[in-house]
Structure 1
Amino acid sequence: MTLHLVKLAVGVNSIEHLAALQTARLAEARDAGRPPVLVHVTRQMPRDVAGLLDGGSIYWVIRGLIAVRQRLTAIEPVEGGDGIRRCALVLDPQLVEVETVARRPHQGWRYLKPEDAPPDRRAGSVEGGDPALAAELRALGLL
């Protein structure tokens, strides 16, 4: 069964900001002679790796709203320079905007069932304006 993750994009102000940060990381990897693979390292290894890799995505919370997702392409154990084992979430570089949904802060990541995941944003939707306003209108049942 497909499963997703929700993660706070700490210090990120917008989808464009997230895209710029990830583009810079890919360029750094290329410049250093490493494969240009987009990786997010976290402390814990998810228990249901098979479910996450069965079409799962990481949904990024930006400024209190789930706003964008990236498909998970691999999950690998890694060891940091300090000798501590961690988990590398390998991400598809394509950012897919979703219908924004308010999300309270939390530490680490949380599982997200497919039925609870926000749908991808449709072309020409209200979301193109102000995502916070669209989320508020959706919460009021007006969208």
Structure 2
Amino acid sequence: MIHIVKLCVGVSSVEELESYRNERSHWWGADYGEEVHVHRTRMMPRRASEIEGIASIYWVIGGLISCRQPILRLTPYTDAEGKNYCDIIMSRDLHRTVPYPRRPFQGWRYLDSKDAPPDIAAGGNAGSEELAADLVRLGLI
């Protein structure tokens, strides 16, 4: 399976992402009439059939992959000027992952399942997430 990894620009923590992700889709007038989150990106993934309904978008926050959201579908969108985009329609569920370092990049990248960080167990200790992030920054994980 293949996933997508994307920088979460302008966001400094998972909590900040959670606080405004509900508003994101309304910035572009993307209303899919259901309880989903939407992220608009410029390019449609060529491997869309390997992603829709089975993969996740892994968010890089502060240089670390910190969480993921399941991707429900990818929908083409064309604005009033005729520019084509891809709306990544995601589940509202946000799953924290074991922090994993990632250098800055533009756009999004594919991420093989074998390279994706595992989820942190539900109800996990927030302090352990911070400790894991510190260990990653020190190069010990």
AA matched with 2:112: K
Find runs of 4+ consecutive structure 1 residues off by over 3 angstroms. 123-126, 130-133
The CA distance in 2 between the partners of 1:109 and 1:64, in whole Å, is: 14
Which residue does 2:18 correspond to in 1? Answer: 19
AA matched with 2:133: A
Q: Is residue 2:8 matched to residue 1:9?
A: yes
Give me the CA root mean square deviation: 2.2
Which residue does 1:98 correspond to in 2? Answer: 97
Cα drift, residue 129 of structure 1: 1.8
Preserved CA contact (<8 Å) 2:53 2:72: no
Cα drift, residue 130 of structure 1: 6.6
Preserved CA contact (<8 Å) 1:65 1:132: no
Which ranges in structure 2 are unaligned for 5 or more consecutive residues?
none
Which residue does 1:134 correspond to in 2? Answer: 132
Preserved CA contact (<8 Å) 2:2 2:110: yes
TM-score (norm 1): 0.83
The CA distance in 2 between the partners of 1:56 and 1:112, in whole Å, is: 10
User: What SS does the corresponding residue of 2:49 show, helix, strand or coil?
Assistant: helix
User: What SS does the corresponding residue of 1:19 show, helix, strand or coil?
Assistant: helix
TM-score (norm 2): 0.84
Preserved CA contact (<8 Å) 2:72 2:90: yes
The CA distance in 1 between the partners of 2:42 and 2:128, in whole Å, is: 33
The share of aligned pairs that are identical, in percent, is 41
The CA distance in 2 between the partners of 1:73 and 1:123, in whole Å, is: 21
The alignment covers a number of residue pairs equal to 135
The CA distance in 1 between the partners of 2:86 and 2:23, in whole Å, is: 21
Q: For 1:47-126, list aligned pairs within 5 A.
A: 47-123=46-122, 125=124
